[in-house]
Amino acid sequence: MGNELLDKLAEVVVKGKIKEAKPLAEQALGAGITPQTVIFDGLSKGMEVVGQKYEKKEYYLPQVLLSAQTMYAALDILLPKLKVEEVGASGKIVIGVVEGDVHDIGKNIVKAMLTGAGMTLYDMGRDVPLKKYIEKVQAEKANILATSTLMTPTLAGMRELEKMLKEVGMKGPCKTMIGGGATSKEFAAQIGADAWGYDAIEAVKIASQLLKK
């Protein structure tokens, strides 16, 4: 029963059946499936397929956009219901998608999980000029700067952010964590980021570790 609903949700994302997204998400919650499971084992699985279809040129941008909107419709229901175990580490986190990149679904899931875990989030949005991040980190005396990118060309922005943080004397007092499809643990080490996370579940673990340092 549970698996069927999750498969159906993945399919709805793949096909961009936007109207079915909310009712199905509600049905899944009603069936006792956790929001996390619905997001990671349902919606995200669908989005993986969308990515593969785009790579194979079976899908073009309008279809990808429709799938993204479908995922967002379901997330409207799911994100407010996310229950994350409080991790006993509180802190201020500035989060956003780096300049040049508009992919923000993953960032928004990460943000919801960190908020659920008891942290204070300052969401900068997507395609954000690097300077704005530094200004916000300084203004809020943030403990962590968390950035996301799914595109290779915009990786350079993350390297630049590390430099900019150093220049204003915040590298150290403010830890950095990065994630998103274009990033990797190796890349994080290369640029001197303090942590890298594969997904939103890991994001909570690494943020709490960074806050305890």
Residue 177's nearest CA partner among 161, 196, 160 is: 196
- How many Cβ atoms from other residues are within 10 Å of residue 63's Cβ? 16
What is the distance between the alpha carbons of residues 26 and 161, in angstroms, rounded to a whole number?
A: 40
Pick from 106, 137, 145, 208 the residue near ligand B12 by CB under 6 A: 106
Q: Which is nearer to ligand B12, 1 or 61 (CB)?
A: 61
Q: Which is nearer to ligand B12, 5 or 144 (CB)?
A: 144
Counting contacts by CB under 6 A, is residue 44 touching ligand B12?
yes
Counting contacts by CB under 6 A, is residue 162 touching ligand B12?
no
User: Token pair of 186, please?
Assistant: 């190796």
DSSP type of residue 171: B
User: Token pair of 8, please?
Assistant: 């159906």
Identity of the amino acid at 156: A
- How many Cβ atoms from other residues are within 10 Å of residue 82's Cβ? 18
Pick from 18, 29, 64, 89 the residue near ligand B12 by CB under 6 A: 64
Identity of the amino acid at 136: K
Counting contacts by CB under 6 A, is residue 179 touching ligand B12?
yes
Pick from 182, 191, 193, 211 the residue near ligand B12 by CB under 6 A: 182
Among residue numbers 187 through 206, which ones bind ligand B12 (CB under 6 A)? 197, 199-200, 203
Q: Which is nearer to ligand B12, 30 or 165 (CB)?
A: 165
What is the distance between the alpha carbons of residues 21 and 84, in angstroms, rounded to a whole number?
A: 23
Q: Which residues contact ligand B12 by CB under 6 A?
A: 44, 47, 50-51, 54-55, 61, 64-65, 68, 100-107, 109-110, 146, 148, 150-152, 177-182, 197, 199-200, 203
